[in-house]
Amino acid sequence: FFSVIMAVEGSKKVFDAEEASLLVKELRGTFASGRTRSYEWRISQLKALLKLADDNEQQVADALNSDLSKPQLESIVYEIALLKNSCKAALKELKHWMTPEKAKTSITTFPSSAEIVPEPLGVVLVISAWNYPFLLSLDPIIGAIAAGNAVVLKPSEIAPATSSLLAKLVGEYMDGSFIRVVEGAVAETSALLEQKWDKIFYTGNGRVGRIVMAAAAKHLTPVLLELGGKSPVVVDSDINLQVATRRIIAGKWCCNNGQACISPDYIITTKAYAPKLVDALKNELGTFYGKNPLESKDLSRVVNSNHFARLTKLLDEDKVSGKIIHGGERDESKLRIAPTILLDVPRDSLIMTEEIFGPLLPIITVEKLEESFDIINSGTKPLAAYLFTNNKKLKERFVMSVTAGGLVVNDTTLHLAVDTLPFGGVGESGVGAYHGKFSFDAFSHKKAVLYRSFIGDAAVRYPPYTNGKVGL
Ligand code: NAD
């Protein structure tokens, strides 16, 4: 029956804890049938998901444009194509992922053999965020399906057009006996969080991450938390400045206008090099977005007025407002803020202590670049960190000493597109990781299986425990 549950606040039917409980009960019942465990079911659902993305590219791009004014190219490349690639990789690798892994045994169990058998966790919940609302909703579902789970998706209410499109399309394309969408905001998510799940996969901010983890703890439910943080970019002087600048801009403003979890949050460079870097950034921004970036169709808008107010508060703080050296223009009626660069902002300012998640880019300067690694490590652990350099020693020190979810040398954000790398945070930036095989693993239990025969039964393990048995 219901393949999609619409929970619209204020309408007759509100999705409450009772309905959430019925939904979970129903999915537990269908999951117990064992159908999701078969290779064929998993493949059929991965194909259905791929078809969903293939058939509806324009509808998805339109929804993303309605929610975020997201440029068509960014929607196609960073949401739809990434999802399709992820789906294709899972289709190609699934057999291999599902194959039990042989494990070595020891003399203690001789003679024996052992294997690690991946099995689905059961009924899982995916709660996603608004900034890449198509990709971040469906990419975790690839892992959940590949691993053979039943799944409930709760998209973000802050991207309402994409949320309702997801509810419609998942209802049309996917097997509704096992895969459901619940739309809604805090009340509906809270109702879902009261239930016992076999895993909760949450993407969003750390404050809600804590709510999710506390709710999960009541049922001893494991969580995967994809959170955010302040992802730094360290810029050396020994670089191809134009390429570096373009790649910083690509990770910042070309990624949803800075509203991306791995967008560069701030730059660290030397006092001596900062003027050159600033000039290069200004030049390239001019080339990309023209003289009036507030009118550019190639920049997403700020998602809503709450986030607009949050960002302007960062910009208007007394000790920060004088530090704007480029941009700063805003149009509240259109929720637009121009790409903005700030130089030498105080380290204790709001903009340097909160995740920015928008089009503002502060640069802090140091005497010696080596200081930057200590600055990064003195804050909370970021989701990503970037370094631009040709210096081999500096690269090595960066990789060995900087802690972050992921690192990229001489580019930004692209580690996300390499599905042989785990994508996830550490500390405040998240718990666990996904993408490629890591997604399959995130939604699987690795069952340990030991096989023994009846030969070689050692009397030493049985009482009476005589001294002779322990060699005394
Ligand atoms: P959001 O506001 O869309 O919230 C995320 C989800 O949490 C939504 O589905 C929402 O309904 C739910 N939610 C909100 N308040 C809740 C509450 N009180 N109780 C229960 N559920 C609640 O997204 P956001 O948090 O603004 O997203 C931005 C943050 O997410 C940034 O910190 C960003 O870095 C991070 N992020 C991380 C990744 C990643 O992959 N690591 C990706 C995107 C965003």
State the Cα–Cα distance between residues 100 and 105, nearest whole angstrom: 15
For a mutational test of ligand 1's pocket, the pick from 205, 213, 300, i.e. the residue with the most ligand atoms closer than 8 A to its C-beta, is 205
C-alpha of residue 42 to centroid of ligand 1, in Å? 28
Q: Is residue 31 within 8 Å of residue 151, measured between CB atoms?
A: no
Q: In this model, does residue 472 exceed pLDDT 90?
A: no
Residues within 6 Å of ligand 1 by CB? 127-131, 136, 154, 156-158, 185-186, 189-190, 203-205, 208, 211, 226-228, 261, 355, 357, 383, 425, 430
Q: What is the pLDDT of residue 468?
A: 83
Q: Is residue 115 within 8 Å of residue 449, measured between CB atoms?
A: yes
Strand partners, 365: 269
For a mutational test of ligand 1's pocket, the pick from 135, 138, 201, 203, i.e. the residue with the most ligand atoms closer than 8 A to its C-beta, is 203
pLDDT tens string 399-410: 999 999 999 999
Regarding beta strands 384-388 and 430-431, do their DSSP bridges make them parallel or antiparallel, or are they unpaired?
Answer: unpaired
ipTM exceeding the 0.90 mark: yes
pLDDT tens string 333-367: 999 999 999 999 999 999 999 999 999 999 999 99
Q: Is residue 440 within 8 Å of residue 118, measured between CB atoms?
A: yes
Closest by CA to 406, choosing from 388, 390, 384, is: 384
Q: What is the pLDDT of residue 470?
A: 76
pTM (2 d.p.) = 0.96
Enclosing H/E stretch for 114: strand 112-120
**DSSP-based three-state secondary structure for 221:** coil
Q: What is the pLDDT of residue 332?
A: 98
pLDDT tens string 210-255: 999 999 999 999 999 999 999 999 999 999 999 999 999 999 999 9
Q: What is the pLDDT of residue 172?
A: 98
Q: What is the pLDDT of residue 14?
A: 79
Active site annotation includes 87: no
**DSSP-based three-state secondary structure for 203:** strand
- Phi, psi (deg, nearest 5) at residue 142: -60, -45
Q: What is the pLDDT of residue 12?
A: 52
State the Cα–Cα distance between residues 317 and 98, nearest whole angstrom: 53
Nearest alpha carbon, ligand 1 atom 19: 186
C-alpha of residue 207 to centroid of ligand 1, in Å? 9
C-alpha of residue 14 to centroid of ligand 1, in Å? 21
For a mutational test of ligand 1's pocket, the pick from 128, 164, 227, i.e. the residue with the most ligand atoms closer than 8 A to its C-beta, is 227
Q: In this model, does residue 9 exceed pLDDT 50?
A: no
